[in-house]
Amino acid sequence: MNNITIVVAEASYLIQKGLEAVLKNLGDNQVVQKMDKAEGLFESLSTLKPNILILNPDLFEGNTELIKKCCAKLKACKLVIISNKKGDEGKYDEDALLHYNDGQSKILACLEGVKDELDRKQKVERSDEPISAREKNILKHIALGLTNKEIADKLFISIHTVVTHRKNITQKLGIKSVSGLTVYAILNNLIAMDEVK
């Protein structure tokens, strides 16, 4: 849920609100920041690291070069331009363009397209498959209450590897806390109930 993070940079309150409503229809996303002026925009982007930036070039008075330059720096962030002018298409090296006059279905299709592209990219890193045998083994040790260091020593792997495994386990199962993982481990017979203190 809310996998995709979006920053909306648009001066008009009406459009901002409208976009937000449209994005709600799209699902699976979250508007993490709304900006109505240019100052501080790109600074905040480097900390927020959104998946999508929806930008109205009017914020920068249509300064194409500036926008292009700043957006090129953002890795893995899709750029969607909102515009009411003709011929803006492709001007900003954007991934998609929304025009003021676009209808609902066109806007949704356009954003779906951007989202699909993101999904495809993320699939490689993050999958919904069940946890692997290796991960099960790590999970077992977590559930038994071992620290990362203890697990690393026991399995002859680096702490860094343990941390990575932990991250993947949490992401796959959707459970963050150690006690939650313990319950999962018991439910799936990775450990017995009386092994837990």
Partner 1 sequence: MRITKDMKMADVIQMNYMLIPVIYRFGINLGFGDKTVKEICEETDVDLNFFLQLVNTYHDKDYFPKEELQSIPSKDIVAYLKMTHSSYLNEKLSEIEDLIESLQHAEAEDEKYILLIRNFFEGYKNELTEHILHEEEVVFPYVLAVEDICAKGYISDQNRKIYDSFSISKYQDAHDDVEEKLMDLKTIMIKYLTPPLNTSLYHKIIQLLFMLEQDLNYHSRIEDKVLVPKMISMEKTITEMI
Interface ranges with partner 1 (CB under 8 A): 173-177, 179-180, 183-184, 186-188, 193
- Residue placing its CB nearer to partner 1 in the complex, 84 or 179: 179
Spatial contact of 143 and 101, defined as CB atoms under 8 Å apart: no
Contacts of 43 (CB under 8 A, 6+ apart): none
- Give me the least distance between CB of 191 and partner 1, in Å please: 12
- Residue placing its CB nearer to partner 1 in the complex, 3 or 161: 3
Contacts of 6 (CB under 8 A, 6+ apart): 23, 29, 30, 31, 32, 50, 51, 52, 53, 54
- Give me the least distance between CB of 188 and partner 1, in Å please: 8
- Give me the least distance between CB of 126 and partner 1, in Å please: 17
Residue 122 token pair: 């993320």
- Give me the least distance between CB of 182 and partner 1, in Å please: 8
Of 40, 38, 49, residue with least CA distance to 10: 38
Residues 143-179 as b/e (b if ≥16 CB within 10 A, e otherwise) read bbebebeebbeebeeeeebbeebbebbbebbebeeee
- Residue placing its CB nearer to partner 1 in the complex, 29 or 83: 29
Distance between CA atoms of residues 115 and 113, nearest Å = 5
- Residue placing its CB nearer to partner 1 in the complex, 124 or 192: 192
- Residue placing its CB nearer to partner 1 in the complex, 31 or 59: 31
- Give me the least distance between CB of 131 and partner 1, in Å please: 12
Residue 62 token pair: 């249509």
